[in-house]
Structure formats: structure tokens, C-alpha cells
Chains A and B, each alone.
Chain A
Amino acid sequence: MRQVKVRLTAVAAALTMTVAVAGCGGAKSDAGSSDAPAAGSKGTVKLAINPWVGYEANAAVLGHLLEKKLGYKVDKKNLKEEISWQGFETGEVDAIVENWGHDDLKKTYITDKKVAVDLGPTGNKGVIGWYVPQWMADQYPDITDGKNLNKYADLFKTSESGGKGQLLDGDPSFVTNDAALVTNLKLNYKVVYSGSEAALIKAAQQATAQKKPLLFYFYEPQWLFAKEKYARVKLPAYTAGCDADPKKVACDYPDYVLDKIVSKKFADTNSPAFQLIKNFQWTNDDQNLVSDYITNQGMTAEAAGEKWVNEHEATWKPWIPATS
């Protein structure tokens, strides 16, 4: 009990102090977040980890370089995309290392609130689309045109699709217009969320191995495409601005230039960590290699990052800031 009392007193003291420091201006939403050590001296870098393995690959390599080459501590936080952006405001997150578009969030957090900064492309090209296993494209050649999907809706019926065809999506937090697309393209389909990338991949592999029909949301960079073939279903072509209103989207997904976003505070330090993330650029093949290590070779993200770093010095050497 004594210890508890001591702790309480300490907390009370700290509280009074902070309140005094914060003064009469009230507490801003980033009050109390510790951002001190990031400046110059080696501190902690807080990386958001979004839930797909490609993202993890970026973070694994960057994390390894930050820790082993630059001497930082890396704090990885498993967060969904939009929630990571909220972290810029509170100081919970320093960097998002693979961002997919999110123009609305860029407007809010970069333009309006000025708590985040765009650090440019990761070098990865992002593709989102609807896919079927290759055997289906072979057996039903016209299935790869979205206009013919209704003809095949019966093939894709499952216990979950309520008499319609099933369109299998991933994590509900992923970038997707699928629900709106199904409505606006008048497709006789229902979107079912598998809940994760892993579940999507499992379903895709099953569909290929057991020749089961499957229509699913998928994306590149993706290691699976190197192992098995899937055919993309064509939707009405993307034109600039056709996805402006998320409820009225009736066109395919754009090609994404994946980029890095960091918090304003982190950027202002201009630390080696910031420089490294700014310089980081690699190819889809690079990412897929690391993703494959993590997914199929039983490596932890840390081990995969280390292996890649050991084998690709020429790629990462230029990222390391000159000053360190």
C-alpha cells in the first residue's frame, strides 16, 4: 500500500506541474505526448503498422535500418490506416510508410490542420481491382469484363451473399469503393468482408487449388501474384475525379503512387531518422521479396528486414543520410 501512496503522490505532483505548465490556455490535443528525444539525439521512432504484409515489409526494412544503422529505438504500432492518421494529431505516430491515396485525409491533416507532411513516393506502384482465379478467365473468357458479371452471379453465390453473387473484400479499413460500385454499376452482387489480407489470400489460394469460383478485391504490390495467376476484371475506366463522391463512384480504381507521410513534429526535427524515411525508395519486387520472407518463409518481420538489408546494400546505402 505504501508504494501505491508514493506513486499517487508523484502522479498528483506531476499533474499539478503539467497543469501549471499548460497554463491558462487549456490543453491541446497533443498535450502530454513525449516528443522531446526525437530532436537530434537518438530517440524513439513511432511507426504505424497498417494491416497488410506489404506495408509491414516497408516497415521491417526501415525499422531495421533505423535501429541497427542509425541507432534509434523503433516503436511499431498496429493501427488501421485512418486511425494512424489520427495519431499524427496526438503524437502517437511519427510515420506512415505506405499510404494509399487518402486525399480527404491529406486535406484534413496536411492542408487544414498542418500536423502531417507528405514525404513523397515509396517507389511502389499501387493497383486495386477485382480479380478472379485464372482458371475462371480461361473457362469463361468474357468474365473479365465487368459488364458480364451479372451473367455469372450464380457462380459466386455463398452462404453469406443472400442469393446474389459474392464479392469478397478484405479488412473493412482498406481503401475500397466496392459497396458503392456494386450499387452504382447495378451488379447483382453483395460485398462480404473477409476481415484481413490473410483471409483474402487464403480464399484466393483455395479458389485456385480447388477450382472454386471466387470474385475478390485484391491489390498490388502483392507477393501472391508471383506464385499464382489471377485475372483482373475490367470496370469502367478511371477518369480524374470520377471517384470524388464516395457514394456515387461508378469507375475502376486509379493507379496509386504509394507515398510516405510523417508528422509535422517529426519532420521539423530534420533528424537522420526523418532523412532516412524521406530517402527511402524501392520497387514492388523489393517489397514482394520481403513480404514473401515474412509470409511464406516463417520469418518475423525483424528477421526478414535484416535478411533483405544484408543482401541489398546497394539499394539501401543511398538512403542513409550523409550526416550520420
Chain B
Amino acid sequence: MSATVTDARVPVAAPGEDAPAPGPRRPLPGRRLLVPLLLLVTAGVYLAVRTSAPADGDGAAARFFGELRDWVDANRDTSPLFLYGFNYLRLGVSLLVDAIHGALYGLGWAGLVTAAGALAAVVAGWRTALLAVAGFLSFGVLGLWEESVDTLVLTLSAVLLAVLIGVPLGVLAARVPAVGAALRPVLDVMQIMPTFAYLAPMTLLFLIGSPAATIATLIYAIPPAIRITALGIGEVPAATVEAATALGSTRWQLLGKVRLPLARPTIVLAVNQAIMMALSMVVVTALIDAPGLGQTIVQALERVNVGAAFDAGLAIVVMAVVLDRITTRAAHRAAPTVHRSVRVRAVGPLVALAVVVAVTVLGRMSSWGAEFPAAWRASFAVPVNEATRWVEFHWYDATEALKNAVSAVLLDPIETVLTTTPWWLFLVAVLIFGALASGPRAAVVAGLAVAGVQALGLWQHAMQTLATVLVATVATMVFGVLFGVLGARHDRFARVLRPVLDAAQTMPSFVYLLPAVALFGASRFTAIVAAVIYAVPPVVRLVERGVRDVPATVVEAAVSAGSTPRQLLWKVQLPMARRGLLLAANQGIVMVLAMVVVGGLVGAGALGYDVVAGFAQREDFGRGLAAGFAIVLLGVLLDRLTQGAGRRADHDRLRQPAT
């Protein structure tokens, strides 16, 4: 199950873009001196021109968005753009959601559990079917049956749309280079954009409710669907295509009979990734009145009820595991090399369908089928809450001291430096150091992002958020490298770690806020803790992978040359895993940003708070929307600056998706 949410965030270089991976950069002469010198100069200029960190006013951008909202509000039922555009979209999506809702609820709980098992049995085998049945039963056991089904309804609706739109786009991107090139930056931004930033524009266009939630989820889930499909189509061997062409295939025949069938396993993987992304987004949409487990979690957050959130988080993880297993196994089976007899292929689904129909009818006719039996309930809420209370009570002084120390020693000084730096100096620094670290192109993009933040009129808040992100990223890297190296060197540790990481990566980000809030109250440090828990798993994975990928021959050579284990690690394994580490930093920082912003819900302030408030208070709407864009720009900035050498390394990763 390692093909989870975050793996999909790894940007896939479009096929055909196999630029030679840059070798280790040769240091320019004088470079050793240049960097410290530039640092000194920057520090000097900063001391000369620092500002008093004037508070952000309501900038022109905020006012513009506020007016936009007023216009939309006034014209929603009169403007043709809405009458014939957005409102129909909303209507169409709500019909789809209603249809799926009706179908899943129509089955009854027994019918749905059986249907999940049957579907798994047909496409993925009987072991997966057992898992699916057990998983779906657990929703009821946790007392969250309806919430889970509601979440499933939204997820399926969004994924269905994502596949219907994403696969054709992916095919197009692979076949028409211009489309691929045009899509790439759009997809980049979509993947960097924190889930939170989607919501306000969604309510502006589609109001609140399931349709807006589905569309937000769709937007979040579609990039991997497009990218992986494009990858799959691009990887169809040229020789096969040529052979088919030589036999006289038309272009459509080529696509329908050769390219799509050969790319099928990859396309199923695209569906898998879309599902994983959708699941993590669908929870957040509870904030705009989407039903389901997200509601339970949001409510738990409002009551600081860690136990209730734990149950709901667990249900999400179970759902993710079941859907992931079904689709990954289906991807393996979809490989055109696996041939099964025609009879098996026809009989299996028929038997499965008959069983589902039988159970559904039985369930609907009998009294026990109406509602999930209450006697089967079990919940972790009470023990989890007791444990939390114990920790709160006994660790209070320690947690308080830790929070205050980190805030005073790290967070506040960094924040002060960043907020008192004039924006133009920051821009120049980004251009210079960005060019040195990641090349001139990345630096220019990063510089444009900086200018954009300034233009949005949210400079101070952006810098406060950035300070929190930096501290959280450092902590994430420390823990990530520590566990990653341990995992790479000790197989047993890795075995224990893996399921924990799997679960952690599918937990909705909201859930992490709760233990953090319980321990540290409302503060920036809370957001940091939540962000670290959220971002560490993928970093651990990438670091472990990087260290393990160091060729065995190199390690042997070093050992035979007399390296101690410590030397081996510091002089050989870590330097050689540099790319893995850079990629990990790149992933980590983008995830940290996403979570720090969610921390706006619990007192982390700055941009995250602007988004939350804009969403909840009318007069702050414009500023909230502007903050959403500022977050995206901050994401672009951080992503470009850290991509360095890491970006290329991912190309090999998706070639051999882990299972």
C-alpha cells in the first residue's frame, strides 16, 4: 500500500522529456567563496534597510475579491454565466451524487458490504474480497456506517468524474506535445495548492453542499489521473505501435486496440491514485457542508475530542486500504499478459452479481437489514480520550516548556527577520540563491511568486507563515532522515515502520491537529507539530529508498576499505543518497505548507487564519481568497527553490510503482 496519497504528488516528467539527469554539479571556481560572501552582503543590506514590519492592510486584491463576491452574490440567478454555466454544472454534479447516493443506500448495509466483497473478488481476487468485507463491516462496527457511506459516495462521484475527464486528457497530453506542455505547469500548481485554498473559490462559484465538495475533490484528484495516464500511454513500446501501423491500423484503431489496452495497468494505477487523493480531500470539504466522516472530524476538532476523531480517522484509513488494495490488485490483473479462460471471466461476475442481488433483497426484506446492528459496536474513543487526558495532565509542564522554548529560540527570531525584510530584498535574495541552488529558470519562477505575494498585499502574513513552515520543515527533515536511515539499515525496524507509515499517510490531515491541540493548545507550535506528523512519513520513505538504492557494490567497497558503520553512513550512503534527500525535502516542504495552513484553524494565525476567516466571515472574504492565492504562490516558491537535483530522480520512481 505504499502507492498512497503523497506518492502521487511526485511530479511526473512528461514522457519524451527524458532529459539526461544532471550529474553531480561541478563546483564553479570561486563558488566556495561566493556563497558566504553573498550571504554576508545580504545580511548587511538587511541590517541597513530592515523595516518595522507594518501590518498588512486590506490590499487592492482583497478589495477586488470582496467586490467580486458581491457581484456574484447579486447576479447568481440572473447572469447568463451562472444561469447557463456554473449552475448547470452544479446541478449535473448533484444529480450524479444523488444517483450514486441512491444506489449505495439502495443496497442496504448488508448489500453494500456484499457488493464491495463481490467487486473485490471479481477484479482483485478472494483475499482482497475478504479484506473488503471486513473493512466495510468495520465502518458499522465503529458506529460510523452512514458517515462512511456518505464519504464513499462523494469519493466515488469525484473519482468517476476525474477518470472521465482525466484519462482522455492524459491520452491527449501523451499524444499531442503541445497539450502536454500546456498542462504541465497547470498540474504543477494544482498539486502544490493546499486543499484548504480550494474551498473559498468553490463556494463562490458553486455555493455550499455536496456538488461544491465533489468539484473541489475532483480538482484535487485529477492531476495524478492525467499524469499517470499520460505516462502509461507514452510507455507503450514503439515497436508494437509500428507493427500495428504496418498492419494497416488507423489512428483510432491504434488507440483503441493497442495503446489503451497496453496502458491499462497504468491507467488502473491512475484510478488508484485519484482515489487516494480524493479521500484526503473529501474530509476537508466538510467545511463546506459535505456530509460524511469529515463532519465527525470537524466536530471532534470543535470539541477537542481526540477519541471521536480517532474513530473517524480509522474509518478513513480502512476505506483507503480497501480501495487501494482493490485497485492495485486490479492493476496487476489488468496486465494484458494475464490470461484467464473466457468461462472464468464470464462466470465470476455473474455469480458475484447474483450473490449481491440475493443479499440485498434479503437485507431489505428482513428487519436486521434496515440498520447496522447496534450490538456489534466498538469504539476506541474512550481509551484514546483517557490516554489524552493522562498525557495532558502529566506532561503539561514539559509540553508548555517545549512550546515556549521553540517559539522563543527558533520561531520568533526567524519570523522577525523575515517580516522585517523589505520585499524587494527578499526577492533579490530568492533570485540569487535560487539561481545558485536550482538554476536560473526556477529562480525566475520563484521570484515571480514572491512578487505576486507582495502584489496580493499579504506580505507580513506570508512571511509569518513562511517562518512556521521553515521551522516545521527542519524538524520534519531531522525526524525523516533519522527514521529513514534506521529503516534502511535495520530490516526489522523497516518492517514495523511500514504499516505505521501507510496508515499515517492516509489519515486525513485534520486528524493530526487534534493530538497537537490537546498537547500544545492554540499556537503556531501546534501547527508545527501537526505538520511534522503529517509530512514525516513520505520523507522517511524517500530517505529510506534513497539510502537503500546506494549500490551494494559501493557499500561493499567502502566496508572492505575499512569504513566504520558511522563513516559508511556519513561519507558514503548519505552523500550518495543526496537526490533522494533533496526529493524528500521538496515533498516535505510542500506537505508542511499544506498542514501549517490548516493550523489556521487552531491559532497558528497568518495566511491560514486569513483563509479560515475569509471563509467564515463575510467582510473577510476578499482577504481570504487573496490569502489562498498567496499560499499557492508560497508553495510555488518553496517547490522551485527546493527542486534542485531532486526533481529528476522521481522519474524512475513511478516507472516501478511500489505495491
Contacts and interface: CB of A to CB of B under 8 A. Distances in A.
Q: Do A and B come from one complex?
A: yes
Interface of A: 1-3, 7, 10-11, 14-15, 18-19, 22, 25-29, 31-32, 51, 77-83, 86-87, 89-90, 92, 104-105, 108, 158-160, 162, 168, 171-173, 192-199, 202-203, 246
Contacts of A192: 522-523, 603, 605
A89 B90 CA distance: 14
A78 B308 CA distance: 15
B77 A29 contact: yes
Given A87-B208, A193-B609, A199-B521, A159 B403 contact: yes
Contacts of B299: 51, 78
Contacts of A79: 208, 289
A285 to B, nearest CB: 23
Given A31-B87, A78-B286, A11 B523 contact: no
Contact of A203 (B76, B403, B521, B618): B521
Point out which of B96, B408, B616 has the most chain A C-beta atoms below 10 A from its C-beta.
B616
Point out which of B203, B411, B605 has the most chain A C-beta atoms below 10 A from its C-beta.
B605
B361 interface: no
B601 to A, nearest CB: 5
Point out which of A2, A195, A196, A246 has the most chain B C-beta atoms below 10 A from its C-beta.
A195
A196 B303 contact: yes
A83 B304 contact: no
Contacts of A7: 99-100, 103
A122 to B, nearest CB: 21
B278 interface: no
25 contacts: A7-B99, A15-B95, A26-B84, A26-B88, A27-B90, A27-B91, A28-B83, A29-B90, A32-B90, A32-B94, A82-B618, A83-B616, A87-B289, A104-B618, A159-B407, A159-B411, A159-B524, A160-B522, A172-B601, A192-B522, A192-B523, A192-B605, A197-B302, A202-B304, A246-B619
A289 to B, nearest CB: 19
B99 A10 contact: yes
Point out which of A11, A79, A87, A89 has the most chain B C-beta atoms below 10 A from its C-beta.
A11
B90 A28 contact: no
A6 to B, nearest CB: 9
B76 A29 contact: yes
- Among all A-B residue pairs, the 7 with the closest Cβ atoms: A26-B83, A173-B616, A159-B407, A27-B87, A194-B522, A195-B602, A198-B304
Contact of B83 (A27, A159, A198): A27
B289 A196 contact: no
Given A2-B353, A31-B91, A104-B618, A193 B522 contact: yes
A107 B12 CA distance: 50
B618 A26 contact: no
Contacts of A87: 208-209, 289
A27 B523 contact: no
A103 to B, nearest CB: 11
A282 B103 CA distance: 42
B397 to A, nearest CB: 10
Contacts of A90: 207-209
A92 B288 CA distance: 11
A160 B618 contact: no
Contacts of B302: 51, 78, 171, 196-198
Contacts of A86: 203, 207-208
A150 to B, nearest CB: 18
Contact of A83 (B288, B353, B523): B288
A228 B407 CA distance: 31
Contacts of B619: 246
B99 A29 contact: no
A303 to B, nearest CB: 14
A159 B609 contact: no
Given A29-B77, A89-B207, A90-B207, A82 B616 contact: yes
B563 interface: no
B525 interface: yes
A160 B524 contact: yes
Interface of B: 73, 76-77, 80, 82-84, 87-88, 90-92, 94-96, 98-100, 103, 203, 207-209, 286-289, 291, 295, 298-299, 301-305, 349, 353, 403-404, 407-408, 411-412, 517, 521-525, 600-603, 605, 609, 612-613, 615-619
Contact of B525 (A1, A3, A108, A159): A159
B115 to A, nearest CB: 8
A15 B95 CA distance: 7
B508 to A, nearest CB: 15
B525 A193 contact: no
Nearest to A91: B209
Contacts of B612: 172-173
B407 A29 contact: no
Contact of A159 (B76, B287, B404, B617): B404
Contact of A195 (B88, B92, B403, B522): B522
Contact of B523 (A2, A3, A160, A171): A160
B207 A195 contact: no
A83 B208 contact: yes
Contacts of A14: 95, 98-99
Contacts of B83: 25-28
B522 A92 contact: no
B95 A32 contact: yes
A3 B354 CA distance: 12
Given A77-B291, A105-B618, 9 more contacts: A3-B353, A14-B98, A51-B299, A78-B295, A79-B208, A80-B287, A86-B207, A160-B523, A198-B302
A193 B208 contact: no
A48 to B, nearest CB: 9
Nearest to A210: B396
B605 A15 contact: no
Nearest to A174: B616
A198 B87 contact: no
B87 A28 contact: yes
A82 B209 CA distance: 14
A162 B208 contact: no
A81 B302 CA distance: 14
A196 B96 contact: no
Nearest to A194: B522
Given A27-B87, A193-B522, A82 B617 contact: yes
A78 B286 CA distance: 8
Nearest to B80: A26
B330 to A, nearest CB: 11
A96 to B, nearest CB: 13
Contacts of B209: 87, 90, 92
B32 to A, nearest CB: 38
A79 B213 CA distance: 14
B207 A29 contact: yes
A324 to B, nearest CB: 26
B304 A199 contact: yes
B618 A32 contact: no
Contacts of A81: 616
A92 B87 CA distance: 15
A105 B305 CA distance: 31
A190 B239 CA distance: 68
Contact of B99 (A11, A168, A172): A11
A84 B299 CA distance: 15
Contacts of A159: 403-404, 407-408, 411, 523-525
Contact of B617 (A1, A15, A173, A196): A173
A18 B91 contact: yes
Nearest to A11: B99
A41 B222 CA distance: 42
B88 A19 contact: yes
A159 B471 CA distance: 15
B94 A160 contact: no
A32 B98 CA distance: 10
A37 to B, nearest CB: 15
Contacts of A26: 80, 82-84, 87-88
Contact of B616 (A31, A80, A202): A80
A101 B96 CA distance: 37
A172 B403 contact: no
